[in-house]
Amino acid sequence: MSADPEFRLEFLATLAAVSADEWDTLTGDDYPFLRHGFLYGLEHSDCTTADNGWQPCHALLWQGEKLAALLPLYLKSHSWGEYVFDWAWADAWKRMGLSYYPKLVSAIPFTPATGPRLCCAAGYSPEDIWPLMLQGIRRLAGEQDISSWHLLFPTREESDALLGQQTAQRLAVQFHWLNRGFANFEEFLATFSSRKRKNLRRERQRVAEQGLTLRRLQGSDIQPHNWTRFHRFYQLTYAKRSGHGGYLSREFFTEVAPSLGDQVMMVVADLNGEDVAAALYFRSGDTLYGRYWGCEAEYDCLHFEACYYQGIEYCIEQGLQRFDPGAQGEHKIQRGFTPVYTYSNHWIADHRLASAVADFTREERQHIDRYREEAATLLPFKQIDGV
């Protein structure tokens, strides 16, 4: 990496300031959530704005006129929509007479899906770029009285690369389905113990007994009326669970998601000729991401069928290696989803609080390790492979 000309770090308040070609040349188009169309789509559909606490602040590192690296970045005034829970840290700050917000977060908004975060141009290595990025982020934090920077759901390699950069590494657990080269769903079920296999088949049969039929639509097969209907399902389900209509706007579903083409798949449930529920997925070259679900009314076992079993069948048919159905949900274990680690990294400006966070994450790690081990003992398989 040449030292001349010097590097310049720029923070963008909108992705409109950089072209999709420049951005996507570094990110690639395989991981859907880093694509310019996805992140800028969240912005122009009013999902990520200063008013709702997700102010874009993306970091671009230039060497002369060449874009060397980029990092998604947001200035946050709360911790909603992140899925790495730090409310207790905010409370601790408050008890000390300090403010935890604003903070900086490198994450995909509302999307707890592991993937790349720092993206470098050819000829630039993350080992050289990370110190420059962090230097600029720390400088910005000092200038704007920002408490901290948080890297959420990076790859393990990215997370480990920051261990020597004054950041605390935090572990959590999600439940992912791993493709062992299954030829079909029945071959996957054959790995279950007899009782667990019967339970799963009974759930699938229960969906059929209610007269429900499901179909999978991908890319351009998803029609405008499907998107409009899905937004209604999404709002209804969020309202029942959380008392609000969800983080994502109608425009996100009707304009942004369709622009991702075949990287989007929707499972639609039909009853007597009327769509009554749907699940929305995104995909990369080797991974399926289950993201959103909604329904008009509750139907027995339909959520499991639309959000899990249809996704597994799709992965087998498409040869995808992993199915990440989203955060939380211990009920996924008995349906064949393996506990896996997810990662985050945290830089804290105040050295006293940085020390406390480092102690907390070290102690928490012991509990997370035990939890993952215990969760693995509950898998339904006849013989549990090492993970």
| Interval 288-345: pLDDT, tens | 999 999 999 999 999 999 999 999 999 999 999 999 999 888 999 999 999 999 999 9
Q: Each residue of 180-199: pLDDT tens digit? A: 999 999 999 999 999 999 99
DSSP string for 332-379 = GGGGTPEEEEEEEEEEESSHHHHHHHHHHHHHHHHHHHHHHHHHHTT-
User: pLDDT band for position 3 (50/70/90)?
Assistant: low
The predicted pLDDT at position 5 comes to 80
The predicted pLDDT at position 243 comes to 79
pTM for this one? 0.95
Q: Each residue of 33-76: pLDDT tens digit? A: 999 999 999 999 999 999 999 999 999 999 999 999 999 999 99
Spatial distance between the Cα atoms of 309 and 199, rounded to a whole number of angstroms: 13
Percent of the chain with pLDDT over 90: 94
Q: Which residues are within 8 A (CB) of 17 and not within 5 positions of it... i.e. 6 or more apart? A: none
**Residue that wins the pLDDT comparison between 4 and 128:** 128
The predicted pLDDT at position 209 comes to 98
Q: Each residue of 373-383: pLDDT tens digit? A: 999 999 999 86
The predicted pLDDT at position 386 comes to 45
User: pLDDT band for position 387 (50/70/90)?
Assistant: very low
pLDDT at residue 385 above 80? no
Please give the sequence-ordered ranges of beta strands (E in DSSP) within 32-188, or none if there are none. 54-56, 58-63, 66-71, 74-76, 103-106, 119-120, 148-152, 168-178
Spatial distance between the Cα atoms of 30 and 285, rounded to a whole number of angstroms: 6
149 phi and psi angles, rounded to 5 deg: -135, 140
Mean pLDDT of 253-266: 97
pLDDT at residue 165 above 70? yes
Mean pLDDT of 124-148: 97
| Nearest by Cα to 170 from 107, 110, 84 | 84
The predicted pLDDT at position 240 comes to 87
For residue 346, list its beta bridge partners. 150, 168
**Which DSSP category does 277 fall into?**
E
pLDDT at residue 249 above 70? yes
pLDDT at residue 145 above 60? yes
Spatial distance between the Cα atoms of 315 and 301, rounded to a whole number of angstroms: 20
Both tokens assigned to 147: 């408490």
Enumerate domains of the chain plus CATH numbers. Answer: 7-173+340-376 (3.40.630.30), 180-320 (3.40.630.30)
